[in-house]
């Protein structure tokens, strides 16, 4: 059964809302006029809602571009909340903003994200969501000349987002975890020295007072095409022996409105907590999911996947405390079909040799934890369908607003 186009009120009722709560009530709620574009952060991803028309209930009908797709959507005005509803045949993503946080002049809204599937009696919370009543600015490619002309940057690293300020190249500056605008000598975490060599830019971060403890973000001049940022390698030189590559770094001017998510280096056992964003790659597609605040009676985390197919997320630890301990990442469709990625600390390589996948250098290149993909059709038997991987995405979009 597909969603009925008759009205946003009808859709709300089909998803379990009440007639009383679905009335277009409060006049102080912001409303996107036809042609207007709003920005939404839902499930740890950024999308844009474009209003097409206002229906007979006074609600907005449009589309949301998110996760690489354009999906029919609605902005629904209720007495107790404003709802952005991104609707598909199998269900919907919802962002509900309580009425107490609404005013007609409000530009930044914070709400609760929810995933609702067609055949499920309950919905699954998927963390915080945000709505910005304006379009996301277009980000131009950062020219290489900005390396010398721009003195304030933000640096995405596997260890978090850093604020970086230097007077000019080859002169000591400061870095810290506070936004650049409030970075001072008192809250700086260390000194920074940026310089260029024959291949590109090197940003050296001195940690504390130990001059032997450095992190380097090395950015090559060739091959930079990302809109609004430069990418490089993040390296640790504080240990004896060869420098240890920690993953990817992304350098962007401090005025850039949208942080770039960078994967963290995974450790075992995998740390799992609410509001985390996970990416899962399987033979059936790649999905991005967000862990909600609700757990099952067995203590498993739940949430939702936003990918080529909507699905409920569940993360289950098994054989805890044994050599076979592992984690199961589950994707459940509205038809109760299950797709899973089962990961363990050890994986089987060539010739049947079991190796600790967290001990080798390979995981530092893409931050992917490898595993077995399993498919279970409703009413059928579980079967392996190939390899899979998961990795946690570290993105300040979950906890910080966009600056524009």
Over residues 83-125, the pLDDT tens digits come to 999 998 889 999 999 988 787 677 889 999 999 998 776 688 8
Residues 122 and 125: their CA atoms lie apart, in Å, by 10
Tell me which residue has tokens 């290149």: 365
Q: Which two tokens stand for residue 308?
A: 């080529």
Residues 321 and 326: their CA atoms lie apart, in Å, by 10
DSSP E strands in 264-365: the ranges are 277-282, 285-295, 301-307, 311-318, 326-332, 338-344, 346-348, 354-356
Residue 19 CA: distances (Å) to CA of 6, 9, 118: 15, 8, 19
Which range is most confident: 87-96, 154-163, 237-246? 87-96
Is residue 279 a contact partner of residue 343, using CB atoms and an 8 Å limit?
A: no
Q: What is the CATH number of domain 277-394?
A: 2.40.128
At 73 the pLDDT is 97
Q: Which two tokens stand for residue 252?
A: 């962007």
Residue 8 has pLDDT above 60, yes or no: no
Residues 363 and 366: their CA atoms lie apart, in Å, by 6
Helix, coil or strand: residue 364: helix
Residue 185 has pLDDT above 80, yes or no: no
Is residue 84 a contact partner of residue 30, using CB atoms and an 8 Å limit?
A: no
Is residue 97 a contact partner of residue 131, using CB atoms and an 8 Å limit?
A: yes
pLDDT-derived band at 266 (thresholds 50, 70, 90) equals confident
> Hey, where are the domains in the chain?
8-132, 146-257, 277-394
Residue 24 has pLDDT above 60, yes or no: no
Q: How confident is the model over 22-37, as a mean pLDDT?
A: 76
Least confident range from 145-159, 194-208, 324-338, 351-365: namely: 351-365
Residue 21 has pLDDT above 50, yes or no: no
Which residues contact residue 20 at a Cβ distance below 8 angstroms, ignoring those fewer than 6 apart? 79
Residues 121 and 312: their CA atoms lie apart, in Å, by 13
Over the stretch 270-322, which tens digit does the pLDDT of each residue have?
A: 999 998 899 999 998 899 999 988 899 899 999 999 877 789 999 999 999 88
CATH top class, domain 146-257: mainly beta
Residue 389 has pLDDT above 90, yes or no: yes
Q: How much is the mean pLDDT over the chain?
A: 83
Which H helix or E strand runs over 196?
strand 190-196
Q: What is the CATH number of domain 8-132?
A: 2.40.128
> 56-90 burial, b for 16+ CB within 10 Å, e for fewer?
ebbbbbbbbbbbeeebbbbbbbbeebbbbbbbbeb
Residues 279 and 58: their CA atoms lie apart, in Å, by 37
Would you say the CATH fold of 277-394 matches that of 8-132?
Answer: yes
Residue 130 has pLDDT above 80, yes or no: yes
Pairing of β 244-253 and β 277-282:
unpaired
Over the stretch 362-377, which tens digit does the pLDDT of each residue have?
A: 676 678 899 999 999 8
């Amino acid at each position: 059964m597909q969603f009925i186009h008759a009205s946003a009120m009808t859709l709300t009722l089909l998803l379990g809302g009440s007639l009383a709560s679905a009335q277009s009530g409060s006049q102080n709620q912001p409303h996107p006029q036809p042609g207007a574009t709003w920005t939404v952060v839902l499930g740890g991803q950024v999308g844009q809602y474009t209003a097409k028309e206002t229906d007979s209930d006074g609600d907005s009908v449009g589309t949301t571009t998110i996760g690489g797709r354009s999906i029919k959507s609605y902005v629904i005005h209720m007495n107790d909340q404003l709802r952005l509803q991104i609707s598909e045949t199998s269900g919907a993503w919802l962002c509900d903003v309580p009425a107490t946080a609404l005013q007609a002049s409000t530009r930044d809204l914070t709400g609760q994200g929810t995933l609702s599937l067609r055949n499920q009696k309950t919905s699954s919370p998927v963390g915080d969501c945000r709505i910005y009543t304006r379009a996301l600015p277009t980000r131009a490619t950062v020219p290489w000349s900005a390396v010398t002309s721009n003195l304030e940057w933000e640096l995405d690293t596997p260890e978090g987002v850093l604020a970086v300020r230097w007077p000019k190249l080859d002169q000591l500056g400061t870095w810290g975890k506070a936004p650049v605008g409030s970075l001072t000598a008192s809250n700086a975490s260390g000194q920074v020295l940026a310089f260029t060599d024959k291949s590109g830019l090197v940003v050296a971060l001195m940690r504390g007072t130990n001059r032997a403890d450095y992190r380097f973000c090395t950015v090559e001049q060739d091959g930079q095409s990302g809109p609004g940022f430069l990418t490089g390698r993040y390296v640790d030189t504080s240990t004896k022996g060869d420098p240890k590559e920690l993953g990817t770094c992304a350098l962007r001017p401090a005025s850039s409105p949208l942080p770039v998510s960078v994967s963290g280096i995974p450790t075992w056992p995998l740390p799992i907590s609410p509001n985390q964003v996970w990416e899962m790659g399987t033979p059936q597609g790649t999905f991005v999911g967000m862990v909600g605040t609700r757990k099952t009676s067995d203590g498993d985390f739940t949430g939702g996947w936003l990918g080529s197919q909507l699905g409920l997320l569940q993360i289950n630890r098994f054989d805890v405390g044994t050599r076979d301990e592992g984690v199961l990442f589950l994707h459940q469709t509205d038809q109760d079909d299950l797709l899973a990625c089962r990961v363990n600390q050890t994986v089987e390589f060539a010739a049947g040799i079991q190796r600790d996948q967290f001990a080798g250098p390979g995981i530092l290149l893409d931050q992917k934890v490898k595993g077995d993909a399993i498919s279970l059709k409703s009413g059928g038997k579980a079967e392996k369908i190939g390899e899979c991987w998961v990795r946690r995405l570290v993105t300040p979009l979950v906890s910080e607003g966009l600056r524009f």
